[in-house]
Amino acid sequence: MNEQLLEVAIKLLHDDGWEALSLEAIAQRAGVSRATVWRHGLTRAAVEKVLRHRLVADYRELLWAPLTEAGNGAQRLDRALLALCVVAERNLPLLAHTETAFHPKDLEAANMTLDFYDPWLRILDLAVADGSLPAPEEPRTWIGALTNMVLLTYVHLRAYHAQNGWTAPRTASYVVELVARGYLPRAVA
């Protein structure tokens, strides 16, 4: 796949969404013919597949460090949440236009699998074992809520409010700090 045309397609997606991503639109923005775009295989499905592969690769790479670095479980959890923000930033064009990028059904459509919960469950196990966090009653539910609060809030602020000063570092710091002050597991009434 032609990297220059792919970057044009990604920018088009980021600027105008999935509905704008067509052979004609990519060709027009790149200043080439529709046939050139077609020869390079830049269909909406092909672009989405490439973006999902990048997302999974970034997720696996960036969530590895909090699992292996020093620190107690709660510290590792904070670093993992910040790493999730980096994953979001690297994949903002995709994540801004779908809330299901990590869902198994969508990944399977791209011939991919990912155990989203595995690194989080490991970190949570470490935190519970070292006493830095109490055990939540429903670990997967707790992780789902926690990661969605960070990920979806980060993506929304960066994709739709960046002009208001929501830079990548500021957004990650603010969102993780805000969530971190209230993420301790507790019984749901």
Domain boundaries, the chain: 1-42, 48-180
Does domain 48-180 sit in CATH 1.10.357.10?
Answer: yes
Residue keyed to tokens 């969404």 = 17
One-letter amino acid identity for 127?
Answer: A
We find that the CATH architecture of domain 1-42 is Orthogonal Bundle (1.10)
Distance CA 33, CA 31 (A): 7
Neighbours of 46 (CB within 10 A): 14
Q: How far is CA 17 from the centre of its chain?
A: 17
* CB-CB contact of 63 with 17 (8 Å): no
Beta-carbon-side half-sphere exposure of residue 127 (alpha carbons within 13 Å): 25
Over 31-45, what HEC string results?
CCCHHHHHHCCCCHH
* CB-CB contact of 172 with 159 (8 Å): no
Distance CA 120, CA 143 (A): 7
pLDDT above 70 covers a percentage of the chain that reads: 96
Whether the domain at 1-42 and the domain at 48-180 fall into the same CATH topology: no
pLDDT tens digits, 1-57: 788 988 888 888 888 888 888 888 888 999 998 899 899 988 888 888 889 999 999
Exposed (0-12), middle (13-18) or buried (19+): which is 67, by Cβ within 10 Å? middle
pLDDT tens digits, 130-141: 999 999 999 999
Handedness of CA 166, 84, 187, 140 (dihedral sign): positive
Give the least confident one: 43-47, 114-118, 156-160, 178-182. 178-182
pLDDT tens digits, 86-98: 999 999 999 998 8
* CB-CB contact of 110 with 49 (8 Å): yes
